[in-house]
Homo-oligomer: A and B are copies of this chain.
Amino acid sequence: MQHARSGDVGEQAAELWRRYTTVRNRSTQLIDGLSAEDCQVQSMPDVSPAKWHLAHTTWFFETFVLAESGAPHHAFDPLFGQLFNSYYNSVGRMHPRAQRGLLSRPALETVLKYRRHVDQEMRAALPALFAAGLAPRIELGLQHEEQHQELMLTDIQHVLSCNPLLPAYRSEEPPVSVPVVPTWMHCEAGMRRIGHQGDGFAFDNETPPCRVWLNAFELASRPVTNGEYRSFIQDGGYRDPLLWLADGWTQRQADDGDRPLYWQADLDHAFGLHGLQPLDPDAPVCHLSYYEADAYARWVGMRLPTEAEWESMMIERGIAWNTGEGATCPRIGGAPAIGQVWEWTSSAYAPYPGFRAAPGAIGEYNGKFMCNQFVLRGGSCATPPGHARPSYRNFFPPAARWQFSGLRLARDA
């Protein structure tokens, strides 16, 4: 949560405000084409309604910036503090997560008013916030909102997938991937340093930077594709318990899943933000659980990388993010790029040595989730441009499948 300090304050403030406006607008643009009803639905406990995302990200600024600034602040509605608190026990009661979809009030329109209200208060208070040293907290709020922008897309996709009408979020044709033959990228054994080290923004879970020893290893130059994954299915991969972690096999038997979430039974079509589409064999496979990613790697005799391997390789190679504003399905181009699907690593989500959660409520942001989750690295088509970086640590429970989650193969060198 560090923030660069350069130039004079007025210029910094103007710059921050431009960024604030851009990020905030992007959120509301995401519901273009959706109805208030679309923004109301919660299709499973992990999913939040789009309306809730729009309100919660606003609540974040109200609670952690405006309310902490000491500046005069007029609450839009005192009950919103409870309705749109996600998981911060420090700041009071919260509406149960699984019941977010029951909140037909406030209306979407009211939530949009709430957004404008807080934006105006933010604008008016901006000099005072800067003076109070809250610029880094504003940046945290924007990064937080960018995270929710990705969640809005994954959640909308899940909501629409539950409707037998299979409606499309985007009506245009999805892009087509280019076939790419994967190569191996080699890394020598040695001490490395991972974690956030520069001046730019980073979440607390990327710090402090730490030393780690790596044996020699190799990473594939691109993620595994739909076509490759289909071969795994057709070879009986979902029927062979020896390929699966014990928990994964138990889950597979419980839900009788035999293919990635959103794939149709014919293995030739998949549902996505563009509606039901033919499966692109050259696009990266996604919406995999950790168990599926791990089983696939075992099937080909490889393994998933650790997060230290992943980060070290990306830094050494200087690999660029391949993202585009507004992409809504993962595709592969020609370069060994990252940024189309999140890549499961074999690293359990844990604090780096010396990690300390921030004092106060903000300390609940990341630290308390460091258990029963795995780290994903990279970024996806739904990640806002510029949001991710080599040290970025995304994390989800191993059974989660509704994110844009795929894998890249690794092997010992």
Interface residues of A (CB under 8 A from B): 35-41, 43, 51, 79, 82-83, 87, 89-90, 95, 99, 101-108, 159-160, 162-165, 167, 191, 210-215, 241-242, 244-249, 290-291, 306, 346-348, 350-351, 353-354, 363-364, 368-372, 398, 412
Contacts and interface: CB of A to CB of B under 8 A. Distances in A.
A103 B167 CA distance: 11
A99 B248 CA distance: 21
Contacts of A89: 241-242, 249
Contacts of A245: 368-371
A213 B212 contact: yes
A393 to B, nearest CB: 14
Copies of this subunit: 4
B104 A371 contact: no
A346 B350 contact: yes
Contacts of A241: 89
6 contacts: A38-B104, A41-B101, A41-B102, A245-B370, A353-B412, A371-B398
Contacts of A210: 213, 215
A37 to B, nearest CB: 4
B371 A105 contact: no
A28 to B, nearest CB: 17
Contact of A412 (B37, B163, B354): B354
Contacts of A38: 104-105
A295 B41 CA distance: 36
A356 to B, nearest CB: 9
A104 B247 contact: no
A171 B213 CA distance: 52
A311 B95 CA distance: 44
Nearest to A167: B105
A213 B215 contact: no
A166 to B, nearest CB: 9
A164 B92 CA distance: 14
A369 B104 contact: no
A185 to B, nearest CB: 18
Contacts of A90: 242
A346 B291 CA distance: 22
A51 B246 CA distance: 24
A370 B348 CA distance: 10
Closest 7 CB pairs of A and B: A348-B348, A89-B241, A37-B104, A38-B104, A102-B162, A211-B213, A246-B368
Nearest to A82: B164
A104 B372 contact: no
Q: Which of A247, A249, A290, A371 has the most CB of B within 10 A?
A: A371
Contacts of A371: 245-248, 290-291, 398
